[in-house]
Structure 1
Amino acid sequence: MKKNIVVGVGNMLFKDEGIGIYASEYIKQNYEFDDKTLEIIDGGTLGFKLMAYFQEYDNVIILDTVSIEDTVGGIYRLPSDVLLGLGNYRKTAHEVEIVEMLEIVSVLDSHANVTIIGIIPKDIESVEIGLTKEMEDKFEEFILNGIKEIESLGIKATRVNNIKISDVVKSMIGSYNGEHLTRIPNEEDFTHAINL
């Protein structure tokens, strides 16, 4: 049986740069799949840990921003062979790391089929948790491109919830574009840990 994984990559501290991480969590909260072995994870800024996924899985789908000179909100499907030829793709630290990991594993006999579903961000410099309006407007299309890529592996996706992106992000870290939950997620766990 093939091993498949979806990895949301990015840095939530820098506005739109968190979109890959938000997308992976959004998919987890809103979709179910007939292949129960499909893994969906928050890869954050994984760096060299990505190499393990590239070696251990058959198919790796990465959700991320892409630094391509084009219209904000443009969505790209970048198979690894295309990505390796895109020198100007590498702008953020995790973009550089993804390409470096691909270059390293490309010389191995066996490695994953890696595809990036990437979106051109508006703002990856402001320090704020949340997305710009441009990214919010394109978010559902970004998700549907990710779902289409999952389904191309022969996995059926079913939408089971309609949890909004702002609520998904708040469930992760308690804040979204300046709106805060009245309590911190997992606050009880945190208080319990302090009292131990």
Structure 2
Amino acid sequence: MNSKRILVLGIGNLLWADEGFGVRCVEALNAGWVFPPQVELMDGGTQGLYLLPYVQEADCLLVFDAVDYGDEPGMLREVVGDQVPRFMGVKKMSLHQTGFQEVLMAAELTGKLPAELVLVGVQPVELEDYGGSLRDAVKAQMPAALEIAFKWLAHWGATPDARTGLAERINNPALAIDLYEGERPPADQAYRLGDARFLNMEAS
């Protein structure tokens, strides 16, 4: 059995539109495929340094995220090796990226940076929509992003199998994309700076 410990991590904030790209990718992997025991899928959210011990334990790290490269909205990039920390800090979109860059730096300082690093990132279309979901151009890149992940997993000797039953979710069931999008009020009713579902307020 391949002894490489592999961490597949989705980071970002589901509540801010395209910031949720990374988490949605990991959710999709978990829902559709069964992975060898050395592979851990994780919704890293915005946890920052709390992710450090998981990163330190990994031999191979694949990260999904929305990253502002200055590209055309919806463009997908694959970044490998020592370029990953640099690209994570190209242009900070939110505190989660500052936090994750610190995670990589701390892992390197402790001599426990994964030997292989891969970032699968998308250029966001929209971030300023609290309670919103992925924009179409970003959501459309998810299959291509997963294909990149499958390529690396095969390279690391950890090809997954198609799932035949329902998966145990890796985060709160209320965050499932179909439910999340289905309960989103229409644009002509939603307060674009917030969402009553998350502000614990009654919709007016």
Q: TM-score per shorter chain, which class?
A: 0.7 to 0.9
**Which stretch of the first structure deviates more once superposed, 145-154 or 104-113?**
104-113
- Give deviations 1:3-50, integer Å, cap 9, x for gaps: 1111111101001111111111110110123x2231111111111012
What CA RMSD, in Å, does the superposition of the two structures yield over aligned residues? 2.7
Question: How many angstroms apart in 1 are the aligned matches of 2:49 and 2:59?
Answer: 18
Relative to 1, partners in 2 of residues 1:5 and 1:170: Cα closer, same or farther, differing over 3 Å? closer
Task: Report sequence identity in percent.
Answer: 23
Q: Which sections of structure 2, spanning at least 5 residues, go unmatched?
A: 185-204
Q: Which sections of structure 1, spanning at least 5 residues, go unmatched?
A: 164-168, 182-196
Relative to 1, partners in 2 of residues 1:170 and 1:98: Cα closer, same or farther, differing over 3 Å? closer
Amino acid at match of 1:103: M
**TM-score of the pair, normalised by structure 1:** 0.78
* CA contact 1:170–1:180 (8 Å) conserved in 2: no
Residue correspondence of structure 1 range 20-169 to structure 2 within 5 A: 20-33=22-35, 35-86=36-87, 87-112=89-114, 113-160=116-163
Shift of residue 172, structure 1, vs aligned partner:
4.3
Question: How many angstroms apart in 2 are the aligned matches of 1:136 and 1:148?
Answer: 20
**TM-score of the pair, normalised by structure 2:** 0.75
Amino acid at match of 1:75: L
Helix, strand or coil at the partner of 1:121: coil
Relative to 1, partners in 2 of residues 1:171 and 1:37: Cα closer, same or farther, differing over 3 Å? same
Whose helix proportion is higher, 1 or 2? Answer: 1
Shift of residue 82, structure 1, vs aligned partner:
0.6
Question: How many angstroms apart in 1 are the aligned matches of 2:153 and 2:132?
Answer: 27
* CA contact 2:23–2:43 (8 Å) conserved in 1: yes
- Give deviations 1:83-119, integer Å, cap 9, x for gaps: 3334424322112222222122223333213321111
Relative to 1, partners in 2 of residues 1:69 and 1:135: Cα closer, same or farther, differing over 3 Å? same
Residue correspondence of structure 1 range 177-192 to structure 2 within 5 A: 177=181, 179-180=182-183
Counterpart of 1:13 in structure 2 is 15
